[in-house]
Amino acid sequence: MVKFDIITIGDSAVDAFIRLKEAELNCDLNREACRICFKFASKIPYETVTEVPAGGNSANVALGTAKLGLRVSYLTNLGQDDHGQKILNKLQDKNIDTSLIKIHPDLATNYNYVLWYADDRTILVRHENYPYELPGLPQSDWIYLTSLAENSPKIYDPLKRFLQNNPETNLAFSPGTMQIRAGYEALIDFYKRTKVFFANKQEVMTILKTNNEKIEVLATELKKMGPKIVVITDADNGSFALDEKNFWHCPAFFPEEKLIERTGAGDAFASAFLVATKEGLPTDQALVWGAINSSSVVKKIGPHEGLLTKEEIKEYLVQNPKFQANNLTFSEGTF
């Protein structure tokens, strides 16, 4: 049986990017909480619609790590419809193993509407209620677990057993909305088993049920839940990581004038961070790889067009030596 570098697990979808022409943003003073507004009970003009198959956190990381050279298998559920076929075609075109994907004749493939305005978006999501089952998994160096629907917990026990029986397999965990709502206690075994944990600042605050916005505190409290490395992204403020010894901060690399939209930036970051970690690079260099990949994705529409290869990331560092980890000013502290 083939051994994979990584198996990604989570829901996939077709994402329809609707470029809004007329809307307003209402934000608080620090732009931490914004609301997109348009006139109710009206016809709202839009500019374009761009359909992107194989959206969703798990598919984005599958495509991101495959682009970076890993042997990838993807576990998800799809409907037997045109949208599901588009997703399969895209994954297979990128040499991703699809043998773990289950096709459901009587159910629809997930379809999301991405309301894109200015440089950010609001996503209307719907998770089909698939009868989740975990098939027998092949051997893999990494498992990447992320967003699943509300009725997915039935796959958790067999996944726990797989991880118990394969202690050499590393777990990366990036909880989606439903997994965050389920709470720490419901997923405690995964938190404790996690090698690398990924989330943005708002998600970590929700998990910890805190209003404290200090990243060092958030990372420290999250690490107490079990993960060996905690990675927190915070949009224009860059990325942060707490490993066994140090707390690191890496700035965001994208200039605002080149930013188009942010969908998939966190997934691109996670993909490159994991590949760098798999290659044995230290945490600060993995942060730089993540920031470079993320900065490329936000210059394109959707989560896939801007993904980089390993060679492109290395070439970027050659051409821009100021972004190499040893030339950056990192926040570093001992914990």
In this structure, of 24-28, 62-66, 82-86, 259-263, the range with the lowest mean pLDDT score is: 24-28
CA atoms of 129 and 202, how far apart (whole Å): 27
Domain 4-12+55-110+128-327 belongs to what topology? UDP-N-acetylmuramoyl-L-alanine:D-glutamate ligase (3.40.1190)
Position 38 scores a pLDDT of 82
Do residues 91 and 109 touch, judged by C-beta distance below 8 A?
no
Q: What does each C-alpha distance from 222 to 123, 176, 182 come to in angstroms?
A: 26, 16, 16
pLDDT at position 330 over 60: no
pLDDT tens digits along 83-94: 999 999 999 999
pLDDT tens digits along 96-113: 999 999 999 999 999 999
Query: Across the strands, what pairs with 79?
Result: 104
Q: What does each C-alpha distance from 39 to 23, 44, 112, 113, 122 come to in angstroms?
A: 8, 8, 22, 19, 16
pLDDT at position 46 over 70: yes
Position 335 scores a pLDDT of 38
pTM, entire model: 0.92
Question: Comparing 334 with 320, which gets the higher pLDDT?
Answer: 320
Q: How confident is the model at residue 23 (pLDDT cuts 50, 70, 90)?
A: confident
pLDDT tens digits along 206-255: 999 999 999 999 999 999 999 999 999 998 899 999 999 899 999 887 66
Position 252 scores a pLDDT of 84
Q: How confident is the model at residue 334 (pLDDT cuts 50, 70, 90)?
A: very low
* Secondary structure of residue 50 in the 3-state scheme: strand
pLDDT at position 32 over 90: no
Q: How confident is the model at residue 327 (pLDDT cuts 50, 70, 90)?
A: low
pLDDT tens digits along 139-179: 999 999 999 998 888 999 999 999 999 999 999 999 999 99
Q: How confident is the model at residue 79 (pLDDT cuts 50, 70, 90)?
A: very high
For the chain, what is the total number of helices (H) and then of strands (E)?
Answer: 10, 16
Position 301 scores a pLDDT of 86
pLDDT at position 134 over 90: yes
- Token pair 């224009």 is found at 236
Position 34 scores a pLDDT of 81
Q: If you compute the radius of gyration of the chain from its CA atoms, what whole number of angstroms results?
A: 19
CA atoms of 127 and 108, how far apart (whole Å): 10
Do residues 15 and 52 touch, judged by C-beta distance below 8 A?
yes
* Secondary structure of residue 314 in the 3-state scheme: helix
- Token pair 């109710």 is found at 40
Provide the percentage of residues in the chain whose pLDDT is more than 90.
Answer: 73
Tell me the mean pLDDT in the region 49-77: 97
CA atoms of 217 and 143, how far apart (whole Å): 27
Q: How confident is the model at residue 122 (pLDDT cuts 50, 70, 90)?
A: confident
Tell me the mean pLDDT in the region 36-64: 92
